[in-house]
Structure 1
Amino acid sequence: MSFKTLRTKSFGYAFLITLSCSLLGSFLGSLPYLSVIGALVLALILGMVFQVWPAAVQASKAGNGLIANKFLRLGIILLGFKLNLIELAQAGVKTIVVALIIVTGTISLTYWLARKFGVSRQLAILAASGTGICGAAAVMGISPQIPAADGDEAQKHDDEVLAVAIVAILGTVFTLIELGLRPLLQMTPTQFGVMAGGSLHEIAHAVATGGANGPVSLNTAIIMKLSRVLLLAPAALIIGIWYQRQSSRTNASSRKLPIPWFMLGFILASVAGTFLPLSSAVLAGLVKLAYLVLGMAMAALGISVNFKVFWRSGRKAVLACLTGSVCLLAFTILVSKLFF
């Protein structure tokens, strides 16, 4: 059997496995209590569960890498249809400024903490980006801008999976924390929505938390969260340039200017979703497709989680992201109380 045939078979196995995980995750995520966790996190967990069948993992190994890489980029592009630029503009400069402070401050603080705790530079920036911007999508959006340390692609992949797992787990934990704090914070629906959208990692987490407090909180949480998502493209470009300049101090060959071309697709999808005469049903379908594709990518990452690496390298990164998330929550509570 030729290598091409084996690769095609591997992709077929991976496609079926990850599609099953994504669909099951989407179904489970629609259930009352599991909706707090979110479909993407559930797909990631289901992918991890698949590791109990080593034969299936081995048969789909090559295909999983392709799905984790290409499908996640496709999902990010399709997610652009959820970003209504007119609604963001109507939300005012204040929302965008808060999002800019959140993204810049959280990434900087979390990265600094991670490095102080002894986390590698590669894992630190990926985990910090996921914490500051939009969870797993941010990790995989930033990752192509980061050259593998010492050319070790396997280590880079482990760091990607580890960063995704960290932000997915912490996002779920802080969703539960914020729902528990809701009666104690004495916030208006708008203030609660700003806090949820400004502090939580995944869009699904912000939707679950904001929706639990009514339609006003839900709408505000989505707008606040999407304001952070909007910054993914410029953040990817800036971080890529900064990281390559840092790398060039020790590696003279790192001089190529990183350009996240798939982010252009994300922006074009946002423009199309905002200004083209697409029906709400079509837009909803495209966003649903985005989450299906992203769920497949999350499942592929889950299947390839290296648990030895997770336990060896993950604890300090978790501590850094946890501390950064606590500071982010405190900041968004203060800002929402004072300015919204």
Structure 2
Amino acid sequence: MDGKMKAIVKDRRAPGATLQEVPIPKIGDQEVLIQVKATSICGTDLHIYTWDEWSQSRVKPPYVFGHEFAGIVVEKGKLVNNVEIGDHVSAETHIVCGHCPQCLTGQAHICANTEIIGVDRDGCFAEYVALPAENMWKNDPSLPFDEASVQEPFGNAVHTVLAGDVVGKTVAVIGCGPIGMMAVGVAKAAGAAQVIAFDLNDYRLNLAKDMGATRTVNSLNENPLEVVKSLTNGQGVDVVCEMSGHPIAMDQGFKMVTNGGRVSILSLPVKPVEIDVTNDIVFKGITVQGITGRKMYQTWQQVAGLLQSGQVDLKQMITHHFPLEDFDKGFELMIEGKCGKVVLHP
């Protein structure tokens, strides 16, 4: 397909981005071109937009960013046979090599040579995006585009919560940004006895309650460790899902987990974090797990199943919709913390 398209471009090594007209991407023999119908803003996109230390060390402007989307296949390469023109799709955003030790042993989600769309290569804040066909996830056409666009971050929440058993256990979700909210819903759907949500933002804590939190804690007003102690008979929580990346909150997470418990970390602290390894990890005998991306493609199957079953309802945490041209409004809401998930429509 020839011509130009609208796209949000990270155009300089500084805060912000611009809406530009750029060429519609060309596809190779094993790629597809997708017309983007909905694309949602992620915390990673916010890192890039605000140009923090992590993004300064990782991304290389100018390029189109964004990595969460849903759309329709409009072109396919001559070697593509897993999707057809007209299919409704989203995408696994980690493009992996297929031949490193991790890929060869069923752990492609931690491929040593991963490229992430919208981070390491052009992304989906645009009218069209080109991607390898093997990264396509076919959506049920009845799934609304806005909900379909948040499956990728929903997969992060699913991977984090279900990295271990949560049935009948007490789960703490620290940080109630959109993925934290979704983690609350996943933990509740998976049979957690209690889901305690922590944040500093009452707006987002209310959304976490809507998603199924049995107790919400504003850590500015209550002591998280004292609340956990009172809710668990002094034992601590069984599972901590760390979504905040804040050094104080992370330290509290390690202190509130019970002996033999699990701490799964999805957050991306921008600086090194000090943890009492001796007392809060070693002597407690806990399991600490870094979570990156989604298991390919086990997590996507779990995501689809949870949505199909209705056990997790994503509609209530999608709070804002904007045309692509108004992307700055979406990012400002993210910065202010006055939103759940923000969806852009090209």
Give me the TM-score of the superposition, normalised by structure 2.
0.28
Larger strand fraction of residues: 2
Q: Which has the higher contact order (CA 8 A, sep 6+)?
A: 1
Structure 1 length-normalised TM: 0.28
Point out the structure with the larger helix share. 1
